Amino acid sequence: MAHKYSPRQVEKKWQRRWADDRIYEVTENSERQKFYALTMFPYTSGDLHIGHWYAMAPSDTYARFKRMQGYNVLHPMGFDAFGLPAENAAISHGIHPHGWTMRNIENMRKQLRSIGAIYDWSREIVTCLPDYYKWTQWFFLKLYHAGLAYRGEATVNWCPRCQTVLANEQVVGEGSCERCGTLVTKKALKQWFLQITRYAEELLDHSRLDWPQHINMMQRNWIGKSEGAEISFGLEHKGLEQKEIRVFTTRPDTVFGVTFFLLAPEHPLVPQLTTSEHKTEVNEYVARCQQQTEYERLALGREKTGVFLGNYVTNRLNGEQVPIWITDYVLPTYGTGAVMAVPAHDERDFEFARKFNLPVQTVIAPTGWSGDGLKEAYTEPGTMVNSGQFTGLPSNQGYEAICTLLEETGWGKRSVIYRLRDWLISRQRYWGAPIPVTYCDRCGTVPVPEKDLPVLLPPDAEFKPTGESPLKHCSAFVNTTCPQCSGPARRETDTMDTFMCSSWYFLRYTSPRTEHAPFDYAKLKYWLPVDLYTGGAEHAVMHLFYARFFIKALKDMGLVHFDEPFTRLFNQGTIVYHGDKMSKSRGNVIAPDEYVAELGADAVRGYLMFIGPWELGGEWNDNGIVGISRWLNRVWSLVTTDYASRAVAARDEKECFHVVHKTIKKVTADLERFRFNTMLASLMELTNYLSKARETGTVSGSVWRDAIDRFLLLLAPAAPHLAEELWAQTGHPYSIHNQPWPHYDQELAKEEEVTLVIQINGRLRDKVLVPASISEAEAKELALGRERVKAYIDGKKVNNVIYVPNRVVNIVVA
């Protein structure tokens, strides 16, 4: 009965059937425990490339596994559809971004269906459609009314090529635009911000999250918390009302070592504090700094530059007059934009002092200090010297004592600062959700009332890349009436950062057609938080960070019941081709569609999972996918060729059970840990075993059928089409995907065990029970890790380790 395996036919057939039967649609009315498995939704670039498949096929396999384990699994899909590429395409091809995006979505939807995933398409969302962005605007209003959205003048990162503002996170490498690589410049604009800084402390806490450590670390570094003190320096300058400048320092214990004072060139006091003879030089320097990127300014090892203003501040602790300089390594946005310079104990200040011949005063002595000048900055703790009443104290005690003095005298206080800045959400672009705000000459800034949402994008805007939002030139959009006084008013013409859209999309999936609210609360309460979120690590300080903030803010407003959106996070690696990351510009992009057409979706899914551990990614290789395809063909003939038992042997039947149950145990454990590659290796071994068993025919027909059934169930998450087809062909009722995950019998799965003797220089030192299948490497590692063995070889050099399979490990030490 064995006919040829035609993946194309098989896959088309089952995809149609699954869609017709709505087999993967889920509801909240289930006895089963919920599991929300979310994959980052794709940007509507037009084509599903192999990177998308690598994000989606393994996560679908996992979601299918959870489903078979008995969970009520929500595994939705949608489109991140606003953003710059659509608008750029519109400009260069004369296509409307809406048309471009919707056409791309249509194509991608077709491609996504070819993966054979369990996406519940009835829940699809598209962020650029009014029924979605209405709620993005609604959330903006909520944030505004909660005091978390504000408008402020800001120097922003500006890409002269894309003609738009970029968030700090979008400035990459040596200060270039993430999208086009152009060097980013600065520009002052009135912008809308979300006050993410208010959540800095909460965002530092990942303790309740099962997330990769390096992502947590990146987020913590991004927040950049520093503890220290704020210290006031006296200003006595004629004609200046301000009598002090405050600085933040992490080292209040070094305050007696301040020998100069630094301001950011942009600091508002610079013009007033500059004396006339220094004016020209200062102005030139300030102008030069405006051309530099922040990255350049902060680069390590860069020659220090700066200019003296001709003026002084007073160090209140010792009454000394300290000269004020400006330098580009002080940023206006970090701390107060002013720094007390302590060259003896700060590397950059030390270099600066050297360059400009400024004094260096040691105030923290290293152990055994001779009293000579330091050759380099000493940044460690030590004993305080030259520090008035604090001299002689260990610096950590001095730190506390000085803070206390500052607080008693009113000269300062203990303080914490964060590098994190507020989230700039204004974009001077067309293709985004309009910011729902109007400006009225009489009433000022007036938010659009909720009942008037959505503020629709006008379909007829011109796409001139002028550096201003195209909406500005669309008078029908701009001119409106004030919601408060009904007088003439103007609409805000900037649109929102698309990260606003993606900060809440996972809420919308729970009730995507709800019209009166962004979500149906009962449904949201059932599904959220997301149990497993998978996607690329490149989102660490953007999407993943913003979404956390967003949800925390919603929680505080009482809109949701949880404050962390993604309980568990997993980042997949990258698929490379000929050693390079795939990209259109390199021309090394693998188009999955061709492979799907030729070898089938199951082969592409299987191959991507087989390439290596999911978090590491790997190298695409055409021979590799052919190997997987061959294996699937072998599975096909293994299952579809009639089995004939001959001389049935009890021993062989027992072994068959053992192998099957051992495989169930292994595959289950591998899936739990996202070890898709070793899972597939186990299934291949089982295929080999069963192929041999068929040749010998020494197990009964029922044992054979039982083995094949379990094998197909194990195969179902990874190769859903083939497993479904073979399930049907072996006479089982539809559908294999509604079957429970196979259990294994602990006794049957148990490995035969042997006693391994551990010798040191030929003498018996330890014994251990191990599975008979233990490899040489595993046996050696195990032996060397034993406590008793470690005690014997402690401090000695291991010259050799000899392994006699399943019997002895002999460790030879000097």
Planar angle of CA 360, 364, 367, nearest 5 degrees = 120
- Alpha-carbon span 476 to 474, nearest angstrom: 6
- Alpha-carbon span 260 to 304, nearest angstrom: 14
Q: Considering only 37-45, 161-169, 583-591, 780-788, which stretch makes contact with Zn ion by CB under 5 A?
A: 161-169
Residue type, 513: R
Q: How far is the CB of 442 from Zn ion (least distance, A)?
A: 4
Closest to Zn ion by CB, 406 vs 440, is 440
Choose, by CB under 5 A, the member of 179, 421, 490, 786 that binds Zn ion: 179
> Which are the contacts of 573, defined by CB distance < 8 A and separation ≥ 6?
54, 612, 613, 614, 615, 616, 617, 618
With binding defined as CB under 5 A, does residue 442 bind Zn ion?
yes
Going by DSSP bridges, is the β-strand pair 617-619/574-577 parallel, antiparallel, or unpaired? parallel
Choose, by CB under 5 A, the member of 298, 331, 374, 443 that binds Zn ion: 443
> Mask 485-514, x = binds Zn ion (CB under 5 A)?
x-x---------------------------
| DSSP bridge partners of 67 | none
Closest to Zn ion by CB, 295 vs 689, is 295
Q: How far is the CB of 182 from Zn ion (least distance, A)?
A: 5
Closest to Zn ion by CB, 486 vs 623, is 486
Subset of 412-441 contacting Zn ion (CB under 5 A): 440
43 in Cβ contact with 635 (< 8 Å): no
Q: How far is the CB of 577 from Zn ion (least distance, A)?
A: 26
Neighbours of 376 (CB within 10 A): 10
With binding defined as CB under 5 A, does residue 161 bind Zn ion?
yes
Q: How far is the CB of 144 from Zn ion (least distance, A)?
A: 17
- Alpha-carbon span 456 to 750, nearest angstrom: 64
Look up residue 96 and give its DSSP letter: -
Q: Considering only 120-128, 179-187, 529-537, 708-716, which stretch makes contact with Zn ion by CB under 5 A?
A: 179-187
With binding defined as CB under 5 A, does residue 214 bind Zn ion?
no
Q: How far is the CB of 444 from Zn ion (least distance, A)?
A: 8
Q: Considering only 159-167, 396-404, 654-662, 696-704, which stretch makes contact with Zn ion by CB under 5 A?
A: 159-167
Residue 760: phi, psi to the nearest 5? -120, 120
- Alpha-carbon span 664 to 686, nearest angstrom: 10
Q: Which two tokens stand for residue 368?
A: 């055994």
Choose, by CB under 5 A, the member of 12, 21, 30, 180 that binds Zn ion: 180
With binding defined as CB under 5 A, does residue 482 bind Zn ion?
yes
Planar angle of CA 805, 810, 811, nearest 5 degrees = 135
| DSSP bridge partners of 801 | 811
Closest to Zn ion by CB, 438 vs 663, is 438
Closest to Zn ion by CB, 88 vs 687, is 88
Question: Number of residues in contact with Zn ion, rule: CB under 5 A?
Answer: 14
Q: How far is the CB of 501 from Zn ion (least distance, A)?
A: 20
Closest to Zn ion by CB, 185 vs 226, is 185
Choose, by CB under 5 A, the member of 105, 177, 437, 625 that binds Zn ion: 177
Closest to Zn ion by CB, 161 vs 220, is 161
Choose, by CB under 5 A, the member of 74, 159, 200, 530 that binds Zn ion: 159
With binding defined as CB under 5 A, does residue 171 bind Zn ion?
no
Q: Which of 576, 450, 552, 558 is nearest to 503 (CA)?
A: 552
- Alpha-carbon span 620 to 611, nearest angstrom: 7
With binding defined as CB under 5 A, does residue 484 bind Zn ion?
yes
C-alpha count within 13 angstroms, C-beta hemisphere, residue 594: 7
> Mask 348-387, x = binds Zn ion (CB under 5 A)?
----------------------------------------
- Alpha-carbon span 707 to 727, nearest angstrom: 13
Q: Which two tokens stand for residue 60?
A: 């679908």
Closest to Zn ion by CB, 99 vs 487, is 487
- β strands within 578-669, DSSP E: 580-581, 617-619
With binding defined as CB under 5 A, does residue 673 bind Zn ion?
no
Structural element, H or E, at residue 669: helix 650-672
Interacting residues toward Zn ion by CB under 5 A:
159, 161-162, 177, 179-180, 182, 440, 442-443, 482, 484-485, 487
